[in-house]
Structure 1
Amino acid sequence: MSDKPKPDHVDRLRGQWAREAPDIDTTPMTILGRAYRLSNLVRPSIEATFAGFGLDRGEFDVISTLRRSGPPYRLTPTDLYTSLMISSGGLTHRLGRLEKAGLISREKSSEDGRSFFVALTPEGQKRAEEAFRADMASEMQFLEKLSPEKRAALADLLRELVRGVEEGDATPSS
């Protein structure tokens, strides 16, 4: 019996490229292509989990950011959209839906009457935590085929790659 892993979708794509353009090094697909494919494969499950709590992924991102910020579970809109890496317009739309659902409130700043904070309501705190717990349990099912040691090694390697990209060590040349 061979120790060689069974080919996956990315291996098949690389094989096609090797046949059609053998001079192109497809090594990046072994990591980045698989990361992209994995993200696409798990996305429906994650979105279904959030939908079970009456949320879409973007709404969950807002209430989970507020929840993990700690008491009093409130941030300025600028802090929120900077953390979420979205436009202020995209955030405004999400906030409207979340406020209508009773999961957040907008509180005027006591120091500056022109500004406000976005705060989780008690129901928002509860929903954020329940949805997060369900999401982590669901996502763990995808990882169960890997031993705890392999999960830790993969997490370490991905952290190293992400930090390198974030720090600009791997700036693409075009």
Structure 2
Amino acid sequence: MEDEVDRLVAAWRRERPDLDVEPLEVLSRVSRLARHLDRARRIAFSEHGLEPWEFDVLTSLRRAGAPYQLSPGQLLTQTLVTSGTMTNRIDRLTKKGLVERLPDPNDRRGVLVRLTPEGRDRADQALAGLLAQERAILAQLSPDRRSDLAALLRQLTAPFDNVPG
């Protein structure tokens, strides 16, 4: 079965036989798949009235377990955004009634961000929608092939995830 990347690679091999274009065979497919996944994610989130960034914050809190709260610093670490961006996001989610700010009992100057029941419901529903979209993308692969692919991708991404700063 031929895909667009096969045609792209063949064209580059014809036009630039002096270059080894083999990395394109893997990474162009990863890039194209990422675009399809981004589209599927946006569909799943919009069906539940969420933007991708809202889903990221809400699910960070949901994964924290009861009482579904984290400090803004912990949210920064999980979502990889700046402090100013996180403050803006918390403000917007608070206005929507999806999170609330509470005083941190361990730090008089600190706050905790807690998921509201509505935020928890929206996060749970959007996650179920996302998983349905992702299952559809992976449906062409057997469970063994999905496991193999996950292991290969982990091998490629782990060095980036384990770099300080």
Tell me how far 1:165 sits from its aligned partner. 4.1
Find out whether 1:98 has 2:93 as its counterpart.
Answer: yes
TM-score (norm. length: structure 1):
0.88
Q: Which moved more, 1:25-34 or 1:159-168?
A: 159-168
- Give the SS at the match of 2:17: coil
Partner deviation per Cα, 1:8-39 (whole Å, 9 max, x = no partner): 11111111211222122112112221111101
Letter in 2 for 1:106: R
1:146 equivalent in structure 2: 141
Number of corresponding residues: 163
Gap regions ≥5 residues in structure 2: none
* Cα displacement string for residues 38-84 of structure 1 (whole angstroms, at most 9, x for unaligned residues): 01122122101101111100000000010011111111111101111
Q: Equivalent residue for 1:54?
A: 49
Answer yes or no: is 1:86 the counterpart of 2:81: yes
- Give the percent of matched residue pairs that are identical in Structure 1 and Structure 2: 41
Deviates more, 1:116-125 or 1:83-92: 83-92
Distance of aligned partners of 1:96 and 1:37 in 2 relative to their CA distance in 1, 3 Å threshold: same
What TM-score comes out, normalization by structure 2 length?
0.92
Match of 2:14 among 2, 19, 29: 19
Query: How far did residue 108 of structure 1 move?
Result: 1.1
CA RMSD of aligned residues (A): 1.4
- The aligned counterpart of 2:61 is 66
The secondary structure found in structure 2 opposite 1:156 is: helix
Match of 2:129 among 120, 129, 134: 134
CA distance in structure 2 between the partners assigned to 1:79 and 1:17 by the alignment: 45
- Give the letter aligned to residue 138 of structure 1: Q
Residues 34 and 166 of structure 1: CA distance in aligned 2, closer, same or farther (over 3 Å): same
Unaligned stretches of 5+ in structure 1? 1-5, 169-174
Write the letter of the residue equivalent to 2:142. Answer: S
User: Of 9, 29, 34, which aligns to 2:4?
Assistant: 9
Is 1:32 the counterpart of 2:15 in the alignment? Answer: no
Q: 1:125 aligns to what?
A: 120
* C-alpha distance in 2 between matches for 1:134 and 1:62: 17
Deviates more, 1:106-115 or 1:136-145: 106-115
Query: By how many angstroms is 1:112 displaced?
Result: 2.4
| Corresponding letter in the other structure for 1:81 | L
